[in-house]
């Protein structure tokens, strides 16, 4: 495990060889504020396929004369796609003594869990869980500061996309937004400073996060390496008019987003009709993620349909993807007054040049200076004659090998016990294969085997974050046990300056603020005109507003995060 973080010398805070993740996070975090990052990951390991396999297409390799025979042959499922999964977990902490000097140590404020699924067709970055503790308010950030929770989430996604990009391979960011009080930090719901978003606010929050990958200037380098980037949003139970209200209110949102799904475009089975046929049923187009609402519906449909029916015609119902999403609206996760948003961002690589346009490769002709005699138009098989002596020696050697094993005699010397203190991850031999890419950049500061990674997440889920003292103690225990006593933290100092807290007010050169409220004229209705005519111009008029007219200003909370699970 190699750790390259910011190193401070005695003369001052001079960064030496900063980690790439530190550089990226520093660009989006508040200026001169200190944060600590913890990045854990796993190597790519074999995983269950995300898609159900379609039926084998016998006509792809058969001749027209064999088509009638293939109809009588029972269809069988094709070979499942070889799939790998690489898991990442990022945690951010701050100094717990920023506001309360009596408390010492670090306290976690954010956790992100992301799975990267790869096949020989594409890469899918799946956001599994995201949660906050509510202790970010200890920083007391000024008004106008962008939410560090939202900025870190978008930055980490862009970081993984840049380091896991494969040439000519499509990449998809996928998640579903489902509001809950807590996902990763037990007891954090007891913290009164934690701002928990409802279903509508959660979907809007994630759309803003992913929209920064489409429109944000901070990730222009990432966007330049792709041919096209497009977002998709589906909220079962809502029509397009209602769904459009969840998209960011930007001038290009209607161009960058589609109110629908991209399942046909991202499916590996629709890319080669010669192998899988021209018709792919919905059961093979819907990816199945852990703890996914639509995955549970898919499994119920699979269990209620026979294998032969699924291969011949798919599910009995639904027959199309549109029918599937309509039925999803009546599921428990998407009904009873709850909303669940399914969001995709598809990154299409540049189109590869057509091989037909390239010059034909020169194939060397075989050497025909010697040809063996042919018998009945066919060349005889080549055989090598061994001498008789060598043949006899070979037979004798085989007899000796098949003999009885030698009987062991003498004293028995026991071996010393070998204590395994730590089982390290099984690193793959190759970092670049047709199925995955695992370069050194983008790996966690701690790389664990899949079992060790699960223990690290399980440990976090058994800690307590209800109070600041409990959260500080839990942070110290989790970081200490995961790092095995080694310093694996990434120290970050923010570089982004705060924006104007009141962007609607314009300032003059001498610092005075122009108040334009007196220049705005409000159109008066008939009731207002009647009241003005009935009242003398010299006497003041007091207008009483109804209780429902007054709107309370929303509380500004920089820790408003979306808790999502998958």
- Read off the pLDDT of residues 36-71 as tens digits, 9 standing for 90 and up: 999 999 999 999 999 998 887 655 444 444 544 444
* Pairing between β-strand 564-565 and β-strand 170-177 as defined by DSSP bridges: unpaired
Find the helix packing angle between 148-163 and 20-28, rounded to 10°: 150
Between residues 402 and 239, the one the model is more confident about: 239
Assess if residue 196 is contained within a domain: yes
Which pLDDT score is estimated for 97? 81
Is the model's pLDDT at 130 over the cut of 90?
Answer: yes
- pLDDT tens, residue by residue, 448-495: 999 999 999 999 999 999 999 999 999 999 999 999 888 899 999 999
| Cα torsion 345, 349, 354, 355: sign | negative
Is the model's pLDDT at 429 over the cut of 60?
Answer: yes
Number of domains in the chain: 1
CA distance 563 to 543: 43
Judge residue 515's burial from the number of C-beta atoms within 10 Å of its C-beta, 0-12 exposed, 13-18 middle, 19 or more buried.
exposed
Residue 42 has which token pair?
A: 């796993």
pLDDT confidence of 565, banded at 50, 70, 90?
low
Which pLDDT score is estimated for 425? 57
Q: Is the pTM of this model over 0.85?
A: no
Assess if residue 172 is contained within a domain: yes
CA distance 541 to 173: 58
Which pLDDT score is estimated for 4? 38
CA distance 313 to 316: 8
Assess if residue 443 is contained within a domain: yes
Residue 346: CB atoms within 10 A of its CB come to 20
Could you give the C-alpha distances from 209 to 202, 369, 374, 392, in angstroms and in order? 11, 69, 72, 77
What is the maximum span of the chain, computed from C-alpha positions, in angstroms?
A: 133
Residue 479 has which token pair?
A: 């970081």
Please choose, from the candidates 307, 310, 268, the residue with its C-alpha nearest in 3D space to the C-alpha of residue 82.
Answer: 268
Which pLDDT score is estimated for 221? 77
Is the model's pLDDT at 533 over the cut of 90?
Answer: no
Confirm if 145 and 498 have CB atoms less than 8 A apart: yes
Which pLDDT score is estimated for 563? 54
Confirm if 22 and 82 have CB atoms less than 8 A apart: no
Is the model's pLDDT at 537 over the cut of 60?
Answer: no
Could you give the C-alpha distances from 487 to 38, 90, 470, in angstroms and in order? 10, 16, 22
CA distance 550 to 242: 25
Assess if residue 156 is contained within a domain: yes
Is the model's pLDDT at 257 over the cut of 50?
Answer: yes
pLDDT confidence of 553, banded at 50, 70, 90?
very low
* Annotated active-site residue in 95, 131, 199, 292: 292
CA 148 to chain centre: 19
Which pLDDT score is estimated for 55? 83
Assess if residue 25 is contained within a domain: yes
Confirm if 455 and 103 have CB atoms less than 8 A apart: no
3-state secondary structure (DSSP) of residue 178:
coil
Q: Which residues contact 444 (CB under 8 A, 6 or more apart)?
A: 39, 40, 41, 88, 89
| Cα torsion 344, 293, 459, 47: sign | negative
Assess if residue 297 is contained within a domain: no
Task: Provide mean pLDDT across the span 312-320.
Answer: 90
Please choose, from the candidates 564, 566, 562, the residue with its C-alpha nearest in 3D space to the C-alpha of residue 147.
Answer: 562
First to last CA, the chain: 29
Which pLDDT score is estimated for 484? 86
Assess if residue 313 is contained within a domain: no
Assess if residue 5 is contained within a domain: no
Q: Is 292 a known active-site residue?
A: yes
Task: Provide mean pLDDT across the span 559-565.
Answer: 55
Question: What is the domain range of residue 443?
Answer: 20-62+73-260+337-351+434-500+559-565
Which pLDDT score is estimated for 396? 53
- In degrees and rounded to multiples of 5, residue 25 shows phi and psi of -70, -35
Which pLDDT score is estimated for 401? 55
CA distance 110 to 465: 12
Residue 517: CB atoms within 10 A of its CB come to 5
Which pLDDT score is estimated for 30? 94
Task: Please report the DSSP string for 336-355 in residue order.
Answer: TT---EEEEEEEEPPPPPPG
Is the model's pLDDT at 207 over the cut of 60?
Answer: yes
3-state secondary structure (DSSP) of residue 114:
strand
Residue 48: CB atoms within 10 A of its CB come to 10
Which pLDDT score is estimated for 272? 76
- pLDDT tens, residue by residue, 259-291: 999 999 999 898 877 778 788 999 999 999 998
When mean pLDDT is compared across 125-134, 164-173, 269-278, 496-505, the lowest value belongs to 496-505
- pLDDT tens, residue by residue, 162-189: 999 998 999 999 999 988 888 899 999 9
Which pLDDT score is estimated for 399? 61
Quote the percentage of the chain above a pLDDT of 70.
Answer: 69
Quote the percentage of the chain above a pLDDT of 90.
Answer: 51
- pLDDT tens, residue by residue, 355-365: 554 444 444 44
507 DSSP 8-state letter: B
Residue 67 has which token pair?
A: 């088509």
Residues in the chain: 566
Residue 276 has which token pair?
A: 């899988």
Q: Mean pLDDT over all residues of the chain?
A: 78
Tokens 């009141």 belong to residue: 502
Which run of H or of E encompasses 84? Answer: strand 83-95
pLDDT confidence of 384, banded at 50, 70, 90?
very low
């Amino acid at each position: 495990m190699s750790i390259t973080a910011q190193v401070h010398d005695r003369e001052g805070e001079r960064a030496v060889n900063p980690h790439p993740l530190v550089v990226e996070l520093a660009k989006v975090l508040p200026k001169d504020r200190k944060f600590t990052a913890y990045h854990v990951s796993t190597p790519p390991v074999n995983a269950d396929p995300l898609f159900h396999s379609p039926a084998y297409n016998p006509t792809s390799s058969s001749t027209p004369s064999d088509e009638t025979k293939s109809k009588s042959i029972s269809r069988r499922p094709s070979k499942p796609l070889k799939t790998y999964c690489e898991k990442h977990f990022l945690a951010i902490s701050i100094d717990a003594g920023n506001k309360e000097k009596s408390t010492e140590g670090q306290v976690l404020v954010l956790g992100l869990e992301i799975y990267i699924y790869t096949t020989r067709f594409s890469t899918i970055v799946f956001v599994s869980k995201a949660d906050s503790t509510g202790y970010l308010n200890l920083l007391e950030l000024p008004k106008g500061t962008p939410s560090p929770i939202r900025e870190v989430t978008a930055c980490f996604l862009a970081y993984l996309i840049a380091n896991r990009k494969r040439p000519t391979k499509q990449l998809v960011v996928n998640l579903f937004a489902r509001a809950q009080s807590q996902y990763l930090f037990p007891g954090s719901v007891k913290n009164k400073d934690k701002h928990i978003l409802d279903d509508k606010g959660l979907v809007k929050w994630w759309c803003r996060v992913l929209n920064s990958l489409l429109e944000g200037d901070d990730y222009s380098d990432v966007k330049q390496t792709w041919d096209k980037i497009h977002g998709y949003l589906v909220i079962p139970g809502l029509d397009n008019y209602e769904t459009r209200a969840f998209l960011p209110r930007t001038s290009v949102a209607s161009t960058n987003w589609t109110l629908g799904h991209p399942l046909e475009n991202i499916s590996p089975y629709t890319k080669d009709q010669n192998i899988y046929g021209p018709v792919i049923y919905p059961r093979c187009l819907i990816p199945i993620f852990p703890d996914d609402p639509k995955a549970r519906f898919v499994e119920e449909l699979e269990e209620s349909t026979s294998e032969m029916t699924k291969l011949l015609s798919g599910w009995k119902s639904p027959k199309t993807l549109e029918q599937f999403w309509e039925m999803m609206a009546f599921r428990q996760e998407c009904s009873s007054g709850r909303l669940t948003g399914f969001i995709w961002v598809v990154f299409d690589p540049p189109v590869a040049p057509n091989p037909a346009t390239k010059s034909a490769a020169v194939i060397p002709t075989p050497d025909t200076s010697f040809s063996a005699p042919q018998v009945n138009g066919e060349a005889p098989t080549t055989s090598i004659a061994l001498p008789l002596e060598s043949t006899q020696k070979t037979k004798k050697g085989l007899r000796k090998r098949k003999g009885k094993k030698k009987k062991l005699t003498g004293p028995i010397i026991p071996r010393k016990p070998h204590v395994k203190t730590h089982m390290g991850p099984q690193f793959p031999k190759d970092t670049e294969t047709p199925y995955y890419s695992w370069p050194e950049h983008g790996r966690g500061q701690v790389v664990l085997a899949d079992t060790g990674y699960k223990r690290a997440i399980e440990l976090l889920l058994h800690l307590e974050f209800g109070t600041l003292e409990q959260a500080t103690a839990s942070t110290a225990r989790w970081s200490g046990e995961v790092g095995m006593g080694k310093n694996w933290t990434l120290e970050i100092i923010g570089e982004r300056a705060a924006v104007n807290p009141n962007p609607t007010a314009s300032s003059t050169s001498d610092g005075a603020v122009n108040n334009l409220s007196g220049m705005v004229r409000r159109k008066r209705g008939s009731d207002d005109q009647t009241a003005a005519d009935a009242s003398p111009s010299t006497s003041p008029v007091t207008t009483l507003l109804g209780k429902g007219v007054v709107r309370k200003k929303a509380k500004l909370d920089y820790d408003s995060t979306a808790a999502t699970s998958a």
